[in-house]
Structure 1
Amino acid sequence: MTNTPSKEQSREMLKWLNRNRLDLLDFYRNQYVAYNAEGLIAHSENLREILDLAQASGELYAIYLVPRSTASIQILSIRFRTVSRHNWQPNYHVKMKHRDVEISTTMLVDSGAELSLISFKLGQDLGFALADAESSLLAETVGGRVEYVIRNIEMTIDGHGFIAPVAWLQTNTGGEQLLLGREVVFDRFNIEFRQAEEQVLFTWREDFSSQTPIPQ
């Protein structure tokens, strides 16, 4: 079966994730979990294993990398206890592919992030490696400095494929939150946040349909 959910299926799956996110943080921190609107399918610390388990189930699924921390919100090394009565995060399903590894995962849509961000763990599991003599870059954050390198990756959102840069962290910051940032992504989609309805709406910009993807 295809593992591409419809928009309605995707919304229902994300509702399940938001309802159960705190339980996942309690029991499966720093693990990949495969889930759908009906519940948890499988969990593992190994990306290839979780993909095999999820595919073997025959169920529609998405992958979520559960952060290490039980803090409600985390931005790199800074943790904030929730002060909001509306326990919702603007997560969205994104397919990412590097070479022979493809993952349908869940990313936090972050309009304040210039680049999309993946953790050190996920980058390793996708097969990224540093080139000989390659130097890390430094980013200034509210929690201090972090090291990262830029990698281009294939992304698919709502059936639209493109290549976008991601910042691959070079240190374990204590959190594994995947961020979907502005670079390329926000140029190709109009994005609307509807917190009251617990929805993020992505609308493909037709003026980008004929443009050549960024080369890897």
Structure 2
Amino acid sequence: MNKTPAKNEIREMLQWLNRNRQQLQQYAHQYVAYNANGTIANSENLREVLDLAEASGEIFSIYLVPGFTASIVILPIYFRTVSTHEWSPTYQVNLKHKDLAINATMVVDSGADFSIISLKAGQDLGYALADGEHISIGQTIGGTVEYVLRQIEMTIDGQNLMVPTAWIQNNTADVMLLGREVVFDKFNIEFRQADEEIIFTKREDALAL
């Protein structure tokens, strides 16, 4: 079982990820197990990466490397030629489905109504469509995507949540987004871009101050 890192370890891991995001493009469409010291394992097979990373004995997180090559990508949107600060607001979230639990790196997106996982990530976590299940259409900038909603068990900073999550049914992008529904009701979230840090504060803790 993947050990949960301490907050300072998570921060160091995310800083490493943001510094090395470009180099990780060689693993496009693959899962990468990483920590503050670098990559531990990579594969298109999630369980293979988990087995290799857990065998290392190191604390790690999982990052699904996006497969985009263009300058602009929908869900999320990257303006590479415009941005002067190449920091992506990512946070570590534990996702659990049946017997599989992973520490996943997700982009925190205040513009997304729901959290989002890609087609590949949902399949690898063990989700499947029910016979005759209705597929919904979501509106994005530049087009639409097909999705189904799943209630995904998430743990964020020790707090367990059931989060309605859009499981994308198109190979639009290998996107993992943490949206507003439920999450933003439970936490006050502060973005500190200059420090390349996101701070989650439980609302009851914030109200007690």
Q: Could you say what secondary structure the match of 2:19 adopts?
A: helix
Separation in 2, partners of 1:194, 1:46: 34
CA deviation after TM superposition for structure 1 residue 51, in Å: 0.7
Q: Which residue of 1 aligns with 2:174?
A: 176
Q: 1:135 to 1:33 in 2, by over 3 A?
A: same
Q: 1:45 to 1:161 in 2, by over 3 A?
A: same
The match for 2:200 among 199, 202, 205 is: 202
Give the conservation status (yes or no) of the 8 Å contact 1:193–1:200: yes
CA deviation after TM superposition for structure 1 residue 73, in Å: 5.8
TM superposition score normalised by structure 2: 0.93
Separation in 1, partners of 2:71, 2:107: 13
Separation in 1, partners of 2:202, 2:77: 33
Identical positions, percent: 64
Give the conservation status (yes or no) of the 8 Å contact 1:109–1:181: yes
Separation in 2, partners of 1:148, 1:157: 24
Q: Which residue of 1 aligns with 2:97?
A: 98
TM superposition score normalised by structure 1: 0.90
- Could you say what the CA RMSD is over the residues aligned between the two structures, in angstroms? 1.6
Q: Which residue of 2 aligns with 1:17?
A: 17
Give the conservation status (yes or no) of the 8 Å contact 1:76–1:143: no
Q: Which residue of 1 aligns with 2:55?
A: 56
Cα displacement string for residues 99-119 of structure 1 (whole angstroms, at most 9, x for unaligned residues) = 111111100000000000000
Q: Which residue of 1 aligns with 2:3?
A: 3
Cα displacement string for residues 62-90 of structure 1 (whole angstroms, at most 9, x for unaligned residues) = 00000111346632396633412111011
Give the conservation status (yes or no) of the 8 Å contact 2:2–2:60: no
Cα displacement string for residues 30-89 of structure 1 (whole angstroms, at most 9, x for unaligned residues) = 000000001110001001111111100000000000011134663239663341211101
Q: 1:188 to 1:31 in 2, by over 3 A?
A: same
CA deviation after TM superposition for structure 1 residue 22, in Å: 0.5
Instruction: List structure 1 segments (4+ residues) > 2 angstroms apart after TM superposition.
Output: 70-82
Q: Which residue of 2 aligns with 1:214?
A: none
Q: Which amino acid aligns with 2:147?
A: Y
Give the conservation status (yes or no) of the 8 Å contact 1:73–1:82: no
Separation in 2, partners of 1:82, 1:101: 38
Q: Which runs of 5+ in 2 are unaligned?
A: none
CA deviation after TM superposition for structure 1 residue 135, in Å: 1.3
Q: 1:9 to 1:23 in 2, by over 3 A?
A: same
Q: Which residue of 1 aligns with 2:80?
A: 81
Give the conservation status (yes or no) of the 8 Å contact 1:77–1:143: no
Separation in 2, partners of 1:129, 1:140: 23
Separation in 1, partners of 2:77, 2:159: 33
Q: Which residue of 1 aligns with 2:144?
A: 145
Q: Which residue of 2 aligns with 1:116?
A: 115
